């Protein structure tokens, strides 16, 4: 969103004129007399028009928190721009979900809220969201992508672990987490009602039945079609393979460390900086505070709408020692 706002601001700047831009371009690339005419009367005016239109099309984002690095506005752009659905006040900023081990995830619902149950359709949805026309979906190329991500495995935890704590943490995981987060768990890969999990519900409110209906129509007459798109009212209980590398946590990336996630929301970090790539092996997550994080990161304020770090109280009642053992085991998944 920041990039789009920047481009629109450039186009609206009084200096966005042929008299200003053509000499600047000529300093980097020689322009013939005909090139200058083309830039003056066609390329620059049309570029300005398109960029201003782009800014107007995304003006609704001005009332939403900025996603920041590693997060995307998931489906509101498609709802409002592609499908022409009425503007609403929903917020759809979410973390990019991991795409490794998808062969082991077969049968799980896709996206944070389980709006899809078919991997191929999920890939097509991504292509459409990126601007691919429905009649030009590159099915063979998407199949290559799908074949690749089915084979990608999560990286192993790169630091030393305490094997004694790992052995103590496994039964804690089995008794407290496995039913929702282990492969083979009764609820793993399924939708957990938002009333139960208690996490920020903006993403749930964003995905409407009207959006489902539009997606079900968009493939009509194409060699592909959508048949597995759905509306649910919760978030998927994801398997925790490679969990050490998934910070920040929760669907909206509102909890910087795995140790934070095992605390009640009142004790979780309220303001932090995401985007710094130095790892904290003790807290399990990327360093989110301090001068370097502030300099290189994006300020994340959990008090903003859509950024809430509430909910997911599972494991918060464990003792300090049990939490330490559980975290040590989670590093090995």
pLDDT band at 151, cuts 50/70/90?
confident
Query: What does R_g of the chain's alpha carbons equal in angstroms?
Result: 23
Range 82-90 average pLDDT: 91
Q: Give the per-residue pLDDT at 42.
A: 95
What's the average model confidence in pLDDT over 143-149? 92
Residue range 7-35, pLDDT digits in tens:
999 999 999 999 999 999 999 999 999 99
The pLDDT of residue 44: 94
Summary mean pLDDT of the chain: 93
Ordered DSSP codes for 134-189: GGG--HHHHHHHHHHHHH--PPPP-S---HHHHHHHHHHHHHHTHHHHSTT-SSTT
**Of 257 and 149, more confident:** 257
pLDDT for residue 62: 86
pLDDT top residue among 325 and 218: 325
- Is the pLDDT reported for residue 74 higher than 90? no
Q: Label residue 99 by pLDDT band (50, 70, 90).
A: confident
Model confidence band, residue 98 (pLDDT cutoffs 50, 70, 90): confident
Q: What is the pLDDT of residue 69?
A: 85
Mean pLDDT of 188-199: 95
Beta strands 271-274 and 298-301: pairing type?
Answer: antiparallel
Does residue 58 have a pLDDT over 90? no
Position 263 confidence tier, pLDDT thresholds 50, 70, 90: very high
- pLDDT class of 1 with cuts at 50, 70, 90: confident
Percent of the chain at pLDDT above 70?
A: 100
From the list 277, 300, 316, 326, the residue with the least C-alpha distance to 95 is 300
Assign 129 a pLDDT band (cuts: 50, 70, 90).
confident
Contact 325, 165 (CB under 8 A): yes
Is the separation of the CB atoms in 176 and 95 below 8 Å? no
pLDDT reading at 2 higher than 80: no
pLDDT of residue 332: 96
Q: How far apart are CA 82 and CA 235, in angstroms?
A: 25
Task: Give the DSSP H/E element, type plus range, for residue 324.
Answer: helix 320-330
Res 226: pLDDT: 94
Mention every residue, 6+ apart, whose C-beta is less than 8 A from residue 12.
52, 55
Please compute the mean of the pLDDT values over residues 219-243 and round it to a whole number. Answer: 94
């Amino acid at each position: 969103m920041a990039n789009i706002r920047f481009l629109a601001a450039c186009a609206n700047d009084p200096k966005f004129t042929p008299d200003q831009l053509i000499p600047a371009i000529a300093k980097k690339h020689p322009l013939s007399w005909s090139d200058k005419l083309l830039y003056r009367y066609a390329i620059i005016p049309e570029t300005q028009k398109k960029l201003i239109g782009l800014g107007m099309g995304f003006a609704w984002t001005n009332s939403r928190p900025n996603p920041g690095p590693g997060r995307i506005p998931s489906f509101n752009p498609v709802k409002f721009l592609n499908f022409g659905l009425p503007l609403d006040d929903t917020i759809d900023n979410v973390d990019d979900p991991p795409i490794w081990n998808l062969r082991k995830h077969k049968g799980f619902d896709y996206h944070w809220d389980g709006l899809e149950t078919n991997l191929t359709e999920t890939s097509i949805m991504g292509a459409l969201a990126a601007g691919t026309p429905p009649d030009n979906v590159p099915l063979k190329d998407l199949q290559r992508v799908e074949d690749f991500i089915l084979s990608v495995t999560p990286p192993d935890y790169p630091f030393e672990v305490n094997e004694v704590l790992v052995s103590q943490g496994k039964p804690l995981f089995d008794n407290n987490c496995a039913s929702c987060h282990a492969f083979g768990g009764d609820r793993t890969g399924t939708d957990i009602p938002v009333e139960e999990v208690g996490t920020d519900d903006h993403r749930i409110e964003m995905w409407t039945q009207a959006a489902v209906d539009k997606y079900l129509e968009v493939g009509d007459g194409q060699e592909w079609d959508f048949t597995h798109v759905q509306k649910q009212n919760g978030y998927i209980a994801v398997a925790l393979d490679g969990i050490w590398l998934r910070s920040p946590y929760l669907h909206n990336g509102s909890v910087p460390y795995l140790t934070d996630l095992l605390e009640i929301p009142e004790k979780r970090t309220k303001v932090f900086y995401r985007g710094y790539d130095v790892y904290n092996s003790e807290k399990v997550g990327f360093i989110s505070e301090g001068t370097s994080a502030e300099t290189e990161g994006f300020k994340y304020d959990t008090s903003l709408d859509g950024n809430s770090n509430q909910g997911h109280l599972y494991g918060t009642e464990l003792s300090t020692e049990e939490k330490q053992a559980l975290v040590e085991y989670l590093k090995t998944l």
